[in-house]
Structure 1
Amino acid sequence: MKPIPSIQQLFSRISADLKNKLSLSDGDLKLVLDACASTLAGELKLCYLYIVDIQRNQFPDTADTAEEGGELNRMGAIKLNRQPRPATDGIYTATVTGITGGEIRAGLTFKSNDNSNSPGHLYITDDAYILPGSAGTITVRSLDPGPEYLLNPGDGLTATEPLIGVDQLITIATVVQIPAAAESTDLYRKTLIDSYRLEPQGGAKTDYRLWSADVQGVQRVFPYLKNGDAGVVQVYVEATPADSTDGYGTPSGALLLAVEDAIEFDPDATLPLNERGRRPIQAIPEVLPVEIKPVDVVISSLQTDNADVRASIRNNMEAYLFSIRPFIAGADLAREKNDILTAVKVQSVVNDTIGNINSFLDFKLFVDGVEINTFTFSGPNIPYLRNVNYN
């Protein structure tokens, strides 16, 4: 892309051009020419910026979102047939007990118990329900969207008001819809780019990436053939930080089940049934969580050491480790291979963060408690930054 000239450069070019073509000396009509050149320079600057904006919004890797006046959402609507996914409510079925004819009114709220996966949150019934016998099943949803409302089968909820003919306590039976955080712009952009790069191939590694992208809350997956069993495909699932159980990518059981369903059938219920099947008949998928490997760093004798410097170092190292992921041949581009963690690279992240005016004397890197110089992440293993120690 050609560089954008500054307003001063445009002003000088226009002013010189006017003086040359009108054969004017420096003193002739200087005020008028300066005013004209200044006005034209400002307008031309806007034209340059508009041109750059148009160029940037021709491609999904640089396009702005619709909120910023860009074309990313439009590209996604055409290629992915959807907009970025909003945050979703949790929807569950729950078993209730009581006496025949006991009634649960519409709009009744329940509070999750302290021993549940998500204690202290409120859930509501949208429809009235009358028990057909001593037990029945109702549907409840979270009052607000987001992963903090995730419940697991077996979790208990208690009605927030007295009930007649129905026990106060209900028990979650199944997860109908996983409560998930809103899809980030970065993840939406990555999914869109993958849809151009990866072509459906009837069960190849790329297909597992494309199929899993239909599940909200999935950051990426890593498919492998199981050692010693060529018919089994092990799909390791990494959740988005917001939708993970630990903030580092570990998926919930409900998310793993959703990925398994997406591998089996296209979740688009508007398609005919014979067009929704995905899993190759000879493949047996095992959908598994990624395994988080802790990374620790020791920095010795940091010259300028304060809370701001430490926070910047940690933030930049976390961002760098988030880019280190197993390489899947046939699904990832070779030029983007980034599965090897080295002490030299992590040390360079620290150097770039503190700049030339700061320094340290020694640096050590540990993976899973073992000091290393080089470590390759493969299979289910992904890194996360546990501790940054200073001495």
Structure 2
Amino acid sequence: MPAAIPTPEQLAQRFASGLATISFTASDGTQVVLDANAPGSLEQVLSIVAGLAGAEQYRYMRDWLLELMVTTATVDGLLPDHGTEWGVPRNPATAAIGNVVVTCSQAEVIPIGTLLTVDGSIQWATTAEGNIAAGASGSIPVQATATGTTGNVGGGITLTLVSPIAGVTSVVTDSDGLAGGAAIEGQESWRARILEKIRNPPAGGSVTDYEGWAEDAGAAYVNVVRGWVGLGTVGIIVAMAGPSVPTSAEVAAIQSYIDDPTRRPARANAYVVPAQLAPQNLTLSITPDTQQNRDQVQTAIAAYYATTDIAAKLLVARIDAAIASVTSVTSYILSAPTADVQLADNQIATLGTITWQASS
């Protein structure tokens, strides 16, 4: 049982009680007792100061004891040391990656490091040389020059060259867009990965090994399937935060990370596969049927789906609980789904369309 931390008032009273045990004879023969309970006395001030200082020391000791445990350590305390000890570094901020399609009116060589932009403030640089024939188009990989989500853009977005090249007529992001840009990993995500490593140490290619490697490489959701394309193969189904389907560049980055010979077992054939979104449609009536209630119910159901994993079993009971969590809804009828839904090995759920029926 943890020791209770005394309050400043309790510590001040202890100090005052200690002073009360001290007495001495003054030069005039008067017996003096130090009474810290006398209002406005020096002793009372000293007891208050001692109480505040003692409480601060207790809190300091408590906080540092909490830092000794991974479950309560913080990024400003000992969590980085725990990460180092267990070989789980914090995932740094990442820059968006992807491919652009460059079209040229004449044969051109697009050098590595060629800068592209949309509005001048965000830039991407080519990470490989591109040789484009006259009147043709070619795909060239790019990476944002700065980390964070600002480098993420959709497919079909027109970019411009910071320094024009005469024969280039257009530069457009491919259908996947540019993705993968993210801020530095959050404290709780990092903590969860450290705890996962502690609870599931490396085991020569276990399911938890592949899950951990994929998450270390940026995946938010992972499902490991043995025998994905036959004996001796492993399918690593991944989705990004959101959830969202990873781009081909993100899949390639995760594949490259897992294929590092210091990680993947020598004889395993591992395939990183993008998950597919599986929108879930519902038919529902609520009472009272107001727009505010509809919005709150939709948010609650979407939040439930966001907690499910790839290949999850979607429970009607959990949908019921999500709807019931909206206290302003007094009654409801969930007409569909009426049974639990088992997703395929490569599927992850998102909220599709809610068909609202009139309440009876």
**TM-score of the aligned structures, taking structure 1 as reference length:** 0.65
Q: Aligned match of 1:210 in 207, 212, 227? A: 212
Distance 1:306 1:89, change over 3 A: closer
Preserved CA contact (<8 Å) 1:92 1:140? yes
How many residue pairs align between the two structures? Answer: 343
Letter in 2 for 1:347: A
1:194: how far off?
A: 1.9
Partner of 2:192: 190
Preserved CA contact (<8 Å) 1:295 1:365? no
Partner of 1:332: none
Point out where structure 2 has 5 or more consecutive residues left out of the alignment: 24-31
Equivalent residue of 2:70, what SS?
coil
CA distance in structure 2 between the partners assigned to 1:319 and 1:20 by the alignment: 62
Q: Is residue 72 from structure 1 mapped to residue 79 from structure 2 by the alignment?
A: yes
Preserved CA contact (<8 Å) 2:304 2:318? no
After superposition, where does 1:216-235 map in structure 2 within 5 Å?
Answer: 216=218, 218-226=219-227, 229-235=230-236
Partner of 2:64: 54
Preserved CA contact (<8 Å) 2:105 2:169? no
Q: Is residue 343 from structure 1 mapped to residue 353 from structure 2 by the alignment?
A: no
CA distance in structure 2 between the partners assigned to 1:262 and 1:365 by the alignment: 44
Partner of 1:41: 51
Preserved CA contact (<8 Å) 2:88 2:194? no
Equivalent residue of 1:50, what SS?
helix
Q: Is residue 289 from structure 1 mapped to residue 275 from structure 2 by the alignment?
A: yes
Q: Aligned match of 1:276 in 251, 258, 262? A: 262
**Bigger mean CA deviation after superposition, 312-321 or 182-191:** 312-321
Point out where structure 1 has 5 or more consecutive residues left out of the alignment: 113-119, 242-247, 267-274, 329-338
Q: Is residue 256 from structure 1 mapped to residue 251 from structure 2 by the alignment?
A: yes
Preserved CA contact (<8 Å) 1:300 1:362? yes
1:282: how far off?
A: 4.9
Structure 1 residues 329-371: Cα deviation after superposition (integer angstroms, max 9, x where no partner): xxxxxxxxxx6745368537854x74xxxx64324557xx413
Partner of 1:244: none
Task: State percent identity of aligned pairs.
Answer: 17
Letter in 2 for 1:41: G
1:57: how far off?
A: 1.2
Letter in 1 for 2:195: I
Q: Aligned match of 2:95 in 65, 88, 96? A: 88
Partner of 1:168: 169
Equivalent residue of 2:264, what SS?
coil
Preserved CA contact (<8 Å) 2:99 2:142? yes
Partner of 2:337: 370
Preserved CA contact (<8 Å) 1:97 1:170? no
After superposition, where does 1:7-26 map in structure 2 within 5 Å?
Answer: 7-19=8-20
Equivalent residue of 2:236, what SS?
strand
RMSD between aligned residues: 4.9
